[in-house]
Amino acid sequence: MLGLIAKQLKSHPALIPLFIFIGGGAIMSVTYLSRLALRNPDVSWDRKNNPEPWNNMKPDQQYKLYAVNMDYSKLKKDGPDF
CB of 41 within 8 A of CB of 53?
yes
- Which run of H or of E encompasses 62? none
pLDDT in tens, the chain (82 residues): 888 888 888 999 998 999 999 999 999 999 999 988 887 777 777 777 776 777 777 666 666 666 666 776 676 666 666 6
pTM to 2 decimal places: 0.58
Question: What is the C-alpha radius of gyration for the chain, rounded to an integer number of angstroms?
Answer: 21
